[in-house]
């Protein structure tokens, strides 16, 4: 297809409009806080709104009922897919999955390098939990703005003000409620929208169906119906006004404040408010700085960065799939792109968009969208693909590992395969590889954020590289960055070991636990022991 010269500005305009309609985000939470339930509720709710709109407008869309049934059947969407695309009115929401269960790993963190916003999901009875805190650390480090959703308000939980206080005290994020619950956790009556003063009463549907019925009441009527609960909410709101806890876009985008919403994903309370807030406040994809610090606008020619690799999704073909988030330009299937790291062409004939559990072939995509590249054996996490003049993006950082194991080839006759396999898994970002002269190249140390990464290594080394390995877990739980000048002192200390990370050449010191680290610091105040990105809380 030949492109007329004057179609370029037109395409740039189209890309800017498409990017403006998109919101690319992830939900960060601790297992069981309700991420899958919320994902489903968001998808169902958005589908209902989009389809309801279609009744009056475009008549070719599917009806509400069929959409709902199809989605209900695919329960578990957020677990099986990398990205879920949700059409919501005029907007396109791309919800990227952050696996948060047993498969917690560096992948989970890397996803946060591909989003523009995160929803921090809290269980109203539990508040901030460990995995949420770790993921929040990554958001902070990557300057990802965070919206907070306090879930399970239909069950007994904590006081709303106490939960806000916890967020402020423990993570230093100023909470700014968008809505406020009337009725304590477990006795949920409805939600008051602070900006408009509108009150929405929530009715459970009989028989425990998962859809809430919402009813708007004016404040006079609400005061009458809700009685003391209403008065208490008014008092709390007055307090919030007094301390100036107002939603503020600039500080939200700067990662200083977090808009907070209350609700319950299971009975679908407050989900529509969350969607509306996401569209209103979450930033659309914007310019991304390249490796040299130059801002690349969304309307520039195509570019994108791989944030996740998945191997052997199809057992029959041992292929790798790369998930790429588009930063700029329009993607069209069949485009030949350039792989920045090797300068080689990369054909995109087999490209898929991930819609729920099914894979659909994608034809066009825009900034903020995620595309899955099949047969991507040449790609690694952090790699850039582009069209036109060369583009390079900064590498996705390695995260603070907490699990360490020595890896050895079971069969010394397979040492070459062993070396090749370990180098490949290191390049792909499956695990971090650390070495030292003391341990030698035959027995490198593997470092991981989550223990599942070790299982992937063991499995792939045996299946793919035909070099079965044995792992010996090490008794370290912390890593700190240090300098060559400090290494001699550290070598002499017990409960600590210095190794070099192959990927970036960083010198890391591994320490048994935070108590040991504290003692080392106390006895050697001049040592450089810097925390690594996320997960390194003491």
Write out the residues near ligand GDP by the rule CB under 6 A.
29, 31-37, 151-152, 154-155, 264-266
In 3D, which of 259, 283, 255 has the Cα closest to residue 273? Answer: 259
Q: Residue 108 is encoded by which pair of tokens?
A: 């989970």
Instruction: Pick the closer one to ligand GDP by CB: 264 or 337.
Output: 264
Kindly compute the dihedral angle of the four CA atoms of residues 133, 135, 138, 139, in this order, to the nearest 10 degrees.
-90
Closest approach, Cβ 20 to ligand GDP, in A, equals 30
| 285 assigned ligand-binding residue | no
Please indicate if the annotation marks 97 as binding a ligand: yes
Helices first, then strands: H and E counts in the chain: 15, 31
CB nearer ligand GDP, residue 92 or residue 96: 96
CB 394 to ligand GDP: min, Å: 31
CA dihedral 349, 354, 360, 363 (to 10 degrees): -50
Per DSSP, the residues of 244-300 read T----HHHHHTTSEEEEEE-BTTTTBSHHHHHHHHHHHSPPP--EE-TTS-EE-TTS
- Residue 80: CB minimum distance to ligand GDP, A: 13
Nearer to ligand GDP, 93 or 527 (CB): 93
**Distance, CA of 500 to CA of 503 (rounded, Å):** 9
**Comparing C-alpha atoms, which of 29, 34, 30 is closest to residue 270?**
34
Instruction: Give min distance, CB of 364 to ligand GDP, in A.
Output: 31
Straight-line distance from the first to the last Cα atom of the chain, in angstroms, rounded to the nearest whole number:
57
Q: How far is the CB of 369 from ligand GDP (least distance, A)?
A: 24
Cα separation, 502 vs 428, whole angstroms: 13
Taking phi over 0 as left and psi of -120 to 50 as alpha, with beta for the rest, 429 belongs to left
Q: Which residue, 34 or 177, has its beta carbon nearer to ligand GDP?
A: 34
208 carries a ligand binding annotation = no
Q: Rounded to whole angstroms, what are the CA distances from 16 to 51, 284, 367, 491?
A: 25, 10, 9, 54
* Kind of pairing between the strands at 179-182 and 190-193: antiparallel
Q: Consult the annotation and say whether 292 binds a ligand.
A: no
Q: How far apart are CA 402 and CA 400, in angstroms?
A: 7
Cβ proximity to ligand GDP: between 119 and 353 the closer is 119
Q: Minimal distance in Å, beta carbon 525 to ligand GDP?
A: 42
Nearer to ligand GDP by Cβ, of 9 and 156: the residue is 156
Q: Is the Cβ of residue 29 or residue 148 nearer to ligand GDP in the bound state?
A: 29
Q: How far apart are alpha carbons 157 and 160 in whole angstroms?
A: 9
Q: Is 101 annotated as a binding residue?
A: yes
- As measured in angstroms, the least distance from the Cβ of 450 to ligand GDP is 15
Q: How far is the CB of 95 from ligand GDP (least distance, A)?
A: 13
Burial class (CB in 10 A: 0-12, 13-18, 19+), 378: middle
Residue 488: name the closest of 444, 533, 438, 454 by CA. 438
> Quick one: 268 or 338, whose CB is closer to ligand GDP?
268
d(CA 51, CA 230): 34
Q: How far is the CB of 280 from ligand GDP (least distance, A)?
A: 22
Cβ closer to ligand GDP: 356 or 421? 356
CB-based contact 148:175 (threshold 8 Å): yes
Q: Give the annotated binding-site residues.
A: 97-101
Q: Give the annotated binding-site residues for GTP.
A: 97-101
């Amino acid at each position: 297809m030949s492109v007329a010269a004057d179609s370029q500005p037109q395409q740039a305009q189209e890309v800017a409009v498409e990017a403006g309609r998109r919101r690319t985000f992830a939900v960060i939470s601790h297992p069981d806080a309700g991420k899958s339930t919320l994902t489903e509720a968001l998808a169902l709710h958005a589908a209902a709104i989009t389809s309801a709109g279609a009744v009056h407008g475009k008549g070719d869309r599917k009806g509400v009922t069929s959409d709902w049934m199809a989605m209900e059947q695919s329960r578990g969407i957020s677990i099986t897919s990398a990205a879920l695309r949700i059409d919501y009115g005029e907007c396109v929401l791309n919800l990227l999955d952050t696996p948060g269960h047993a498969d917690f790993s560096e992948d989970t963190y890397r996803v946060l390098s591909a989003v523009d916003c995160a929803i921090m999901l809290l269980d109203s009875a539990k508040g901030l939990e460990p995995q949420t805190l770790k993921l929040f650390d990554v958001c902070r480090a990557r300057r990802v703005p965070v919206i907070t959703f306090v879930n399970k308000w239909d069950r007994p939980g904590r006081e709303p003000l106490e939960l806000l206080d916890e967020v402020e005290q423990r993570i230093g994020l100023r909470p700014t409620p968008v809505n406020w619950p009337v009725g304590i956790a477990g006795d949920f009556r409805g939600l008051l929208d602070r900006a408009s003063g509108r009150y929405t009463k929530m009715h459970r549907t009989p028989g425990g169906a998962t859809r809430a019925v919402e009813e708007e009441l004016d404040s006079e009527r609400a005061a009458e119906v809700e009685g003391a609960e209403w008065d208490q909410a008014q008092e709390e709101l007055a307090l919030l006004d007094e301390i100036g806890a107002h939603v503020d876009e600039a500080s939200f985008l700067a990662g200083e404040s977090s808009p907070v919403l209350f609700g319950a994903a299971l009975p679908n309370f407050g989900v529509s408010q969350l969607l509306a807030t996401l569209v209103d406040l979450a930033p659309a994809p914007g310019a991304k700085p390249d490796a040299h610090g130059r801002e690349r606008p969304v309307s520039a020619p195509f570019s994108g960065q791989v944030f996740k690799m998945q191997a052997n999704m199809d057992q029959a073909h041992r292929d790798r799939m790369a998930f790429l988030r588009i930063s700029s330009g329009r993607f069209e299937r069949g485009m030949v792109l350039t792989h920045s790291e090797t300068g080689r062409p990369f054909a995109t004939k087999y490209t898929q968009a991930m819609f729920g559990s099914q894979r659909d072939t994608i034809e066009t995509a825009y900034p903020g969208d995620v595309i899955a590249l099949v047969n991507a054996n040449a790609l690694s996490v952090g790699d850039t693909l582009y069209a036109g003049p060369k583009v390079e993006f900064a590498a996705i950082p390695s995260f603070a590992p907490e699990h360490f194991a020595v890896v050895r080839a079971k069969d010394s006759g397979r040492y070459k395969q062993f070396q090749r396999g370990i180098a490949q898994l290191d390049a792909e970002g499956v695990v971090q590889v650390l070495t030292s002269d003391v341990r030698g190249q035959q027995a490198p140390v593997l470092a991981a954020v989550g223990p599942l990464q070790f299982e992937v290594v063991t499995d792939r080394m045996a299946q793919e590289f035909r070099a079965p390995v044995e792992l010996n877990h090490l008794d370290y739980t912390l890593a700190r960055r240090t300098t060559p000048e400090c290494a001699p002192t550290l070598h002499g200390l017990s409960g600590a070991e210095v190794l070099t990370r192959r990927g970036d050449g960083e010198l890391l010191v591994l320490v048994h636990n935070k108590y040991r680290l504290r003692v080392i610091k106390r006895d050697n105040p001049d040592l450089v022991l810097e925390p690594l990105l996320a997960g390194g809380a003491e």
